[in-house]
Structure 1
């Protein structure tokens, strides 16, 4: 669905149409709102650049400043409507990249939490996992991003991996769903090939396998910062699950969490307290996904399918 957006910065009719259309197609509305926000950001950036200059020439006047301001605002609108600086894409990814019925009964809090998980950046060496804000939805996946497809495709692998740490498989899948938005935002190489990284584990100097560098949102002292970092890349989702199990088993800080793995709520709370994530609501977000009707329905279907095989 196309939305008539404001192509001229003084035209507010496009914004009025956007508000009306948002009730019909939130996916398209999110795309346009992200671009409008990027346009405002570019306007502020250009204004700051002008203010930081040494001053105008002898021919400058209030009138010339007025028209120059109009020009800058129109430039910002044009830039945002074309390639832009990438801010609109980041906003779309952070807000989910699409709000549709495929997420069933998930609440807005659950949905918005999926792609914007934060990870610690302490210990200097960067050995902790850091979830990426920048993902690629173009990578080829064996699922379409819906809870049913995601759980059905990964259930056998999750079941085998979860058994090694005494965690219910649906709990492990809930964490992967939070990290990747039900598989829609798995990190990818520049070639578009999937990294198969379902848990956002960062690649430190000890990691000898393949890597993928992406932009990531990290929190330092409660402040969100954008940076670029290397993350582990795998040849398959099986390797991602296996590495996650090995990662938590070998890391001393997560041993307390492992002793509570039979209780997913306690496990993820302990995992968060041990520094797995800086997001104070990380464990709650996983629990909401785990308790959601979408996950329960998908898990039950996967269990029944495994039983009949």
Structure 2
């Protein structure tokens, strides 16, 4: 009679969970926070507190497991109880408390530590070798690509060309690595101010003259990279370039056509830099 009653009681639960097992928990002091668990049958431990998380391992019949704390997760009707409690094991995976025999008082698991914040790239300076300049510029160029889809290779080549590897007065003194100008003495969203510098302006025929223009100044080089990408993205005259975000050579050609530089050889110079230093390898797949 007892055997029949036990079969009647457990059958519906087993039908709901084909992998149901019974976990037998040994007694432990209330303040131990570590409880030995014995498995009857087999049980899947998972990466999170629900059956849709990945299985980390199968706990075999009579294998001992140590649980340390509890979390709320998927509500399950197990062969012992109905509960949303899951128990975290000593190695960090989870088992449903619905299949734990007994009801040990486990402490609530501490929340996971926040993911570390990625270090903000500092960007290049005016006192670096060419190799150091490139290494420091990759991070800001790739972040610009994530934000605006401007190919990192284009950003890097323009920074090299416009700043002379960071050694121009404009970049070394005022962190302007792209020759970004002020218009109507307005520095825009990223620059800190405006400053006058001598510059070369060329006609379509290649005749160049020296003149004075007002350029943006930045608190740091990363702001210069951010402003460069945002400027290309926001101005309608560069819109055609964004049809070629996977073709850096054509991208810079369209930017040149949009009036970024008056030098008639500008596209050729940027493309040559991209090819010479294989800057394409730094482009992200976005």
Task: State the TM-score, normalizing by the size of structure 2.
Answer: 0.49
Higher relative contact order (CA 8 A, sep 6+): 1
Quick check: which one's strand share is greater? 2
Considering fraction of residues, name the structure with more helix: 1
